[in-house]
């Protein structure tokens, strides 16, 4: 979490790190107690790097590689 001016920015990740649903995103709030507003879309997803995420492919079998639809 960082503070930028009068806003707090919280970075977070979701989904399983080794599957096709992993994402990173952020939320902003005017105070630590909120209300928090989640970003319109994730910063990055596994699908963003489909067929380019060598690290992910090296840890999983070729049968579980991610498609562009995230499945």
pLDDT tens by residue, 31-54: 999 999 999 999 988 877 665 544
Of 7, 15, 14, the residue nearest 35 (C-alpha): 7
- Other residues' Cβ atoms within 10 Å of the Cβ of residue 12: 13
Percent of the chain surpassing pLDDT 70? 68
> What span, in angstroms and rounded, lies between the C-alpha atoms of 55 and 32?
35
The residue segments making up the domain with residue 33 are 2-64
State the pTM of this model: 0.66
Residue 38 counted as domain residue: yes
56, pLDDT greater than 70: no
**The dihedral formed by the CA atoms of 17, 67, 37 and 30, expressed in degrees to the nearest 10:** 60
pLDDT grade for 66, boundaries at 50, 70 and 90: low
Domain count, the chain: 1
Measured between alpha carbons, how far is residue 56 from residues 23, 24, 46, 53, 70 in Å? 13, 15, 9, 5, 13
pLDDT at 65: 55
How high is the mean pLDDT of the chain? 78
Residue 71 counted as domain residue: no
């Amino acid at each position: 979490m960082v503070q930028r001016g009068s806003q707090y920015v919280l970075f977070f990740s979701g989904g399983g790190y080794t599957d096709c649903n992993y994402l990173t995103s952020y939320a902003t709030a005017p105070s630590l107690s909120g209300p928090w507003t989640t970003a319109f879309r994730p910063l990055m997803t596994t699908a963003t790097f489909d067929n380019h995420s060598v690290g992910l492919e090296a840890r999983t079998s070729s049968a579980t590689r991610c498609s562009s639809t995230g499945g």
